Amino acid sequence: MLAETSTTELSKKKKPKTLKENKVIAKKGGSVAGNARKDLERKLGESVISPLNAKELGKRDDKEIEAE
């Protein structure tokens, strides 16, 4: 979600006109999200990547989380 939001905001500001310009903006938006994830993982000392998607994460109960 951060990648999409970052890319959208960068696109609104830069107003790319070509596919090439849009690709550059998309890579920058993805980079923002990737850097944020890596920084969080460094601070937590563990990965935040999960095989579950966002919808499934909201349905997990505390017992499933503790079992991991």
Q: Using CB atoms within 10 A of its CB, is residue 16 exposed (0-12), middle (13-18) or buried (19+)?
A: middle
Question: For residue 45, what is the enclosing H or E element?
Answer: none
Q: What pLDDT sits at residue 52?
A: 75
For residue 29 the two structure tokens come to 């938006």
Q: Where are the domains of the chain?
A: 2-67
pTM of the model: 0.66
pLDDT tens readout for residues 24-57: 999 999 999 999 999 999 999 998 887 776 677 6
Mean model confidence pLDDT for the chain: 86
The DSSP string of 4-41 is HHHHHHHHHHH---SHHHHHHHHHHHHHHHHHHHHHHH
